[in-house]
């Protein structure tokens, strides 16, 4: 099937889309949004400088019709969601957003109800547009570079005035896919650096229980729970946290809780998917080593 990827030049995101595209074709084509060299090898590559989704839709639609693409892949990102829906109307094409699984015969999966359910859809018409949720597909290794031809934009509806890179101190807790949280059991402010290391290696954020905040080891903004942040990560490490109900209220929608606690009776194990009964000081340093080795 003739597949087109529309994405920024960002190797991780692009790699994930390439992985997905292999379900449909040998080698996809590509529209690169923004400036830079295009990593990886694509059949054909186009490049457009304008990064505002609203300005791209018309010309992308023409391109897709002209070239007869059957599958259009984007990530479920600000750019992807800005393009996908209007494009689907332009092309009278079906669109499925936030895809997390691809099955044979044009069957795709996406989460509903905040991830509490998963729906499967069959696409009945070509072209079809999919936006892919991040981190569900392993990013393909992108070898070499592909030369591109420019794609011109006919009409600029929206002007980009400024872009701000926010190198925030890590990822905000609410958005983090991995959270490494520590509680009163951590014992001292210094020991939180260990948790920070784990978080950095897993591209996650550091959280805390109120116990740890009360002790003054971490900022109140890092508190997770009823009176702190309500988070929904994929993995939540609860280290030295007893699992009081008010803390659990903040992680009701965490997919997988990993509890490390020296007390096997601790309430946190009732909520945990994986439990390690041990002094965290024995486990966490080793975990860091292992992650480093694997990286």
Partner 1 sequence: MHIVVLAKVVPDYEVPAGDFELTNSRAHSRYKRMMGLYDENAIESGVQLKEKYSASLTIVSYGIKADIQVLRKAVAMGGEKLSLVLGGSDDPNVIAANLKMAVEKLEDVDLILAGQQSADMDRGIVHGMLAEMLGFAFIPQVAKIEQEDGQWKVIQNTESGSSELKFGGKAVLSITSVPENVPRIPVVRSIFAAKKKPVVQLPEIEGDAMPVDELSVDIPKMESVCEFLPTEDDPAETAKILLGRLREERLI
Partner 2 sequence: MGRTPYWNIDLGILIDLFALPMIVIFFYGMYGHWKRIRQGKVRVNLDLSKSAGKIGPVYLYSLLTKGILGTKIYKKIYTGVAHGGLFWGMVVLLLGTILVFLNVLFGLPVFSGGFNHWFMAFALDFAGLAVFGGILFFLVRRLLFPPERLTEPKSRTGFSPIVLLLGVVILTGFVVEGGRIACNGIDNGSFMGNYLSMMFGKGDEWLTLHRYMWWIHGFLALGFLAYIPYSPLVHLLLVPVNAALADPMPGTKMGLIDFSSFEDEESEEMPVLGAAKLADFSRKRLLDYSTCLWCGRCHEVCPAAQTGKPLSPKGVIITLAECLQDGRVEDDSLIDSLTSEALFCCTTCAACMEACPALINQPKTIMKFRQNLVMERSEIPELMGKANSSLELRGHPFFGTGAGPNDWCKDLDVPLFEEGKTEYLLWIGCSVTYEERAQQIAGSMVKILSHAGTSFGILEEFRCTGDPAKQMGNEFQFAELAQQNIEDFSDLGIKKIITMCPHCYNSFTRHYPKLGGNYQVIPHSVFLKSLLKAGRLSLNRETNTICYHDPCYLGRRNAIYDEPRDVVNSMGKLVEMPRNRNESFCCGGGGGNYWAEEVGTRINQVRAEEALGTGADFIATSCPFCLLMLTDGAKKFTEDQKIFDIAELVALQLEER
Ligand X SMILES: Cc1cc2nc3c(=O)[nH]c(=O)nc-3n(C[C@H](O)[C@H](O)[C@H](O)COP(=O)(O)OP(=O)(O)OC[C@H]3O[C@@H](n4cnc5c(N)ncnc54)[C@H](O)[C@@H]3O)c2cc1C
Tell me if 134 contacts ligand X by CB under 6 A. Answer: no
CB 187 within 8 A of CB 195: no
| Piece in contact with ligand X (CB under 6 A), picked from 99-107, 115-123, 170-178, 208-216 | 208-216
Phi, psi (rounded to 5 degrees) for 180: -110, 110
Sheet holding 29-33, edge to edge: 95-99, 128-132, 71-75, 3-8, 29-33, 45-48, 149-150
Going by C-beta distance under 8 Å and a sequence separation of 6 or more, which residues neighbour residue 194? 284, 285, 288
Site string for partner 1, 72-101 (x = CB under 8 A): -----xxx-xx-xxxxxxx-x-xxxxx---
| Piece in contact with ligand X (CB under 6 A), picked from 72-80, 127-135, 198-206, 242-250 | 242-250
Rounded CA gap, 259 and 271, in Å? Answer: 9
| Rg (alpha carbons) of the chain, rounded to whole number | 22
Comparing CB distances to partner 1, the nearer of 41 and 81 is 81
Among partner 1, ligand X, partner 2, none, the one that 262 touches (CB under a kind-dependent 5 to 8 A) is ligand X
What tokens does 270 get?
Answer: 């009732």
What tokens does 3 get?
Answer: 């597949």
Rounded CA gap, 269 and 128, in Å? Answer: 44
Tell me if 250 contacts partner 2 by CB under 8 A. Answer: yes
Rounded CA gap, 171 and 107, in Å? Answer: 33
CB 223 within 8 A of CB 214: no
Tell me if 246 contacts ligand X by CB under 6 A. Answer: yes
CB 4 within 8 A of CB 73: yes
| Piece in contact with partner 2 (CB under 8 A), picked from 15-23, 104-112, 117-125, 218-226 | 218-226
**Unique residue bearing structure tokens 């499925």:** 96
Question: Least distance to ligand X from the beta carbon of 292, Å?
Answer: 22
Question: Least distance to partner 1 from the beta carbon of 280, Å?
Answer: 10
Tell me if 67 contacts ligand X by CB under 6 A. Answer: no
Binding footprint of partner 2, residue count (CB under 8 A): 21
Q: Where in 165-194 is the site for ligand X (CB under 6 A)?
A: 183-185
Report the residue count for the chain: 295
Distances (CA, A) of 174 to 112, 119, 250: 19, 24, 10
| Piece in contact with partner 2 (CB under 8 A), picked from 9-17, 111-119, 245-253, 277-285 | 245-253
Binding footprint of ligand X, residue count (CB under 6 A): 28
| Piece in contact with partner 2 (CB under 8 A), picked from 18-26, 100-108, 188-196, 224-232 | 224-232
Among 90, 226, 234, 291, binds ligand X (CB under 6 A): 226
Residues that bind partner 2 (CB under 8 A): 184, 210-211, 214, 220, 223, 226-228, 230, 242, 244-246, 248-252, 267, 271
């Amino acid at each position: 099937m003739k597949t087109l990827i529309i994405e920024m030049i960002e190797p991780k995101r692009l790699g994930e889309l390439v992985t997905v595209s292999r379900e449909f074709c040998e080698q996809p084509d590509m529209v690169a949004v923004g400036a830079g060299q295009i990593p990886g090898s694509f059949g054909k590559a186009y490049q457009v400088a304008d990064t505002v989704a609203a300005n791209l839709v018309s010309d992308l639609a023409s391109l897709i019709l002209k070239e007869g693409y059957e599958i259009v892949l984007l990530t479920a990102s600000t750019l992807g969601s800005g393009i996908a829906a209007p494009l689907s109307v332009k092309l009278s094409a079906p669109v499925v957003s936030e895809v997390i699984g691809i099955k044979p015969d044009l069957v795709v999966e996406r989460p509903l109800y905040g991830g509490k359910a998963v729906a499967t859809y069959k696409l009945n018409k070509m072209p079809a547009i999919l936006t892919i949720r991040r981190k569900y597909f392993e990013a393909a290794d992108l070898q070499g570079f592909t030369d591109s031809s420019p794609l011109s934009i006919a009409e600029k509806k929206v002007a980009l005035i400024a872009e701000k890179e926010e190198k925030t101190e890590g990822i905000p807790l609410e958005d983090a896919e991995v959270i490494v949280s520590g509680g009163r059991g951590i014992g001292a402010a210094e020991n939180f650096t260990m948790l920070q290391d784990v978080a950095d290696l897993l591209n996650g954020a550091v959280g805390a229980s109120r116990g740890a905040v009360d002790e003054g080891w971490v900022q109140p903004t890092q508190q997770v729970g009823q009176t702190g942040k309500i988070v929904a990560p994929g993995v939540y490490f609860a280290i030295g946290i007893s699992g009081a109900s008010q803390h659990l209220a903040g992680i009701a929608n965490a997919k997988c809780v990993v509890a490390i606690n020296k007390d096997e009776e601790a309430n946190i194990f009732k909520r945990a998917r994986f439990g390690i009964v041990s002094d965290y000081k024995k486990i966490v340093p080793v975990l860091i080593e292992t992650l480093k080795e694997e990286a």
